[in-house]
Amino acid sequence: MAYLATALQSFFTDYVHAQRNLSDNTIASYRDTWRLLIKHVCATTATSADRIRLEDIDRDEVTAFLDHLVNERANSAATRNARLIAFRVLVAHILPDHPEHAETIRRILTIPPAKTAKPLISYLNEDETEALLAAPDTGTWTGRRDQMMLALVINTGLRISELIGLANTSIHTGTSPYVECQGKGRKHRATPISAKTRDQMRVYLTERNCRPGSALFPGPHGNELSRDAIERWLAIHVRTAAESCPSIGAKHVTMHTLRHTTAMNLLHAGVDITVIALWLGHEQTSTTDVYLHADMATKKAALEKTRPPEVLPGTYTPDPGILTWLEAL
């Protein structure tokens, strides 16, 4: 008889950290998945958490839990699929040590992911970007910090996790300015910054270095800002920006929206999609193809190349007398 608790302790202490060295976000996702499942099993059966056996976690139990996430917790299909991945990783890891549960594990591994819709990405246009950068109150230290933070993200497309991890020494403001960060999957990468952003950063660092801590964008006590704090400040600045640019108020703007904005700015500037993938730290260029789908200008340009010679270029405009013509039909 093998207990789930023993398998989980081995998984999180040995495999996750020592063997795979997974990121903190991935570990937290796996942890939360199993914590939710254990609570679900305890609530639906008479079994205590420490007495749950490996054979209790079968395909029917996992499927019931996934249905619980969707129907009772109102989780999205993407969240359901993320939880399913956490199950697959653990059961695949314990299979060599528990061949007696091979059939149960095989059936769990055959649970299909839910189909998910892929909405078009949201990004800021030029006017919305300018309004957002003008929103922070630069008469205060917090406002100057936030303006520099937003400008850097829009210039580089850093993920929020990468942004949080930046230190004062991560920025290089020499003749070829760039920012160093530890990207997704613990990959180290360097991203260039514009001359304008470099000049702004030099001024910012002069003030930042007089304050405690080493985080590039610190909180009140010099420690790095949390993910929630950054998103909360962003929401405040978006509301301020909406006063002068109403269109930004109609969008759901997150820090990842600014990353999308970087990609679309590069795409509109004619940068090749493979270069954009490298810029953003994508392992596969297919991940970056979403920006091609969202870019209406690129689609119009492609359509223009198929225009017959006798058709005038540009967007179709109906004849001024079209209403008269329709009424005469």
Among all residues, which ones are annotated catalytic?
159, 184, 256, 259, 282, 291
Q: For residue 151, what is the DSSP state?
A: H
User: Residue 33: in which H helix or E strand, if any?
Assistant: helix 24-44
- Bridge partners of 3, per DSSP, are 53
CB 192, CB 177: distance < 8 Å: yes
How far out from the chain centre does Cα 159 lie? Answer: 7
Q: Collapse the DSSP code of 199 into the 3-class scheme (helix H, G, I; strand E, B; otherwise coil) and give the result.
A: helix
Q: How far apart are CA 296 and CA 234, in angstroms?
A: 27
Q: Which two tokens stand for residue 70?
A: 């969707």
Q: How far apart are CA 23 and CA 11, in angstroms?
A: 15
Which residue type, as a one-letter code, is found at position 14?
Answer: D
Burial class (CB in 10 A: 0-12, 13-18, 19+), 119: exposed
Sign of the CA dihedral with 39 first, then 44, 48, and 49 last: negative
Q: How far apart are CA 208 and CA 193, in angstroms?
A: 19
Q: How far apart are CA 36 and CA 70, in angstroms?
A: 13
Q: How far apart are CA 6 and CA 11, in angstroms?
A: 9
Question: What does residue 188 show for φ and ψ, rounded to 5 degrees?
Answer: -85, 135
Q: How far apart are CA 67 and CA 219, in angstroms?
A: 40
Q: How far apart are CA 243 and CA 233, in angstroms?
A: 16
Q: For residue 19, what is the DSSP state?
A: I
